[in-house]
Amino acid sequence: MKAFLASLIILAVLLSGLAAYLFNENTKLQRELQDLKSKYDGLTSKYNELRLNYEDLSKKYSDLHEEYSALKADYEKLSTMYQDLRKQYDLFLTGYAKLRKEVLERTFLDPEGWPSKIDYKDPEVFSATAKALDVWWYGVSPYSRIYGWVKDNIKYNYDTPLLILPNNSWEEAPWFADYWKKASETLEDGYGDCEDQAILVAAMVLNYWLIKYNTTYAIWVVLITGPAAAHAFTIIPIQGGKIIILDPAGSQITGLDLWIYKIVEPKDIYEAITNYIREWREQGYYFDKVYAVFNHKEYKILNMNIYEFIKWLYEQTK
């Protein structure tokens, strides 16, 4: 009996210790559970916060994507427009360079282009020469007829100032108040200034020679200058120290003025040139330099005074 009681006491003690152990473990687990629950609540709150942020960022991303798509579409449209404008700009540059070259060629700055102005083989020149030679009251000489026809049919007109844009932005754009036309262009326009008429006379004389003799001879368009003016006229040099001056713009020729028409005939170079300069001086124009001469084949920059030019002409007519 005592052993049994002892066993019960031992069992009670063991159960009491087990109960205490289990209680402590339960308490510990309750605390851990509370900690885990607190952490879970924190993570849940963080998750909800992150979810809200994600949804906000997702909306912003969608908005940005729409903006990106719109900007991309605009970029592609602008890129296409730029390419079109670039092509037009390149065409403009090509056209402008060509136009600038053509404009410069029409000024006195391009001596290389002077001979091409005397386009004596142009159909317009053939037609005008035929008309001039068919008019009897201009005189017996074909040169009289050409002079008279130009004087009566080509009006004198000053050139309109012409702007030539520069190649570089820092260059000043020059204005030119003097530019030259081909003989055919003067005929087409029906007007021209002194060099235009001198070029036309030279072309018509060359055309006459071509028709009559199937060849051409020496002829010069002369550019003279003075302190305040410049002028152009045509000279036909003739062997033996003589010349014929044809200047419809200045109403001067070498020959006889018979009121109804003027008879053109050669004169000694010194007499013809000095009389020509004197006529201008009496009208208030003083010319003392010959800048250059040219014909349908070549040009020469002379920069001579009048007497040096007379000497040069004698050399040409030996």
Residue 186, classified by CB atoms within 10 Å of its CB into exposed (0-12), middle (13-18) or buried (19+), is buried
Residues 25 and 61 both lie in one domain:
yes
Residues 119 and 94 both lie in one domain:
no
Residues 171 and 246 both lie in one domain:
yes
Q: What is the pLDDT of residue 256?
A: 67
Residues 139 and 228 both lie in one domain:
yes
Residues 70 and 135 both lie in one domain:
no
Residues 65 and 193 both lie in one domain:
no
Domain end (from 105, 124, 158): 105
Residues 86 and 5 both lie in one domain:
yes
Residues 33 and 123 both lie in one domain:
no
CA atoms within 13 A on the CB side of 305: 1
Q: What is the pLDDT of residue 175?
A: 52
Reported as a single tens digit per residue, the pLDDT across 278-316 is 999 999 999 999 999 999 999 999 999 999 999 999 999
Q: Are 174 and 164 in contact (CB under 8 A)?
A: yes
Q: Determine how β-strand 155-156 pairs with β-strand 191-192.
A: parallel
β-strand partners of 304: 290
Residues 78 and 140 both lie in one domain:
no
Domain end (from 105, 126, 146): 105
Reported as a single tens digit per residue, the pLDDT across 195-216 is 999 999 999 999 999 999 999 9
Distance CA 67, CA 62 (A): 9
Q: What is the secondary structure of 165-181 as a DSSP string?
A: --SSTTSPPPEES-B--
Reported as a single tens digit per residue, the pLDDT across 16-51 is 776 777 778 788 878 888 888 888 888 888 888 888
Phi-psi region of 132 (alpha: psi -120 to 50; beta: other; left: phi over 0): alpha
Backbone angles phi, psi at 242, to 5 degrees: -125, 160
Distance CA 292, CA 232 (A): 10
Reported as a single tens digit per residue, the pLDDT across 148-205 is 899 999 998 876 555 555 655 555 555 555 678 899 999 999 999 899 999 999 999 9
Token pair 């012409």: residue: 162
Residues 44 and 143 both lie in one domain:
no
Domain end (from 44, 78, 105): 105
Q: Are 307 and 124 in contact (CB under 8 A)?
A: no
- Rounded to an integer, the average pLDDT of 56-81 is 85
**Does 75 reside within a domain?**
yes
Residues 97 and 231 both lie in one domain:
no
Q: How many domains does the chain have?
A: 2
**Does 110 reside within a domain?**
no
**Does 56 reside within a domain?**
yes
Domain that holds residue 229: 115-316
Backbone angles phi, psi at 202, to 5 degrees: -60, -45
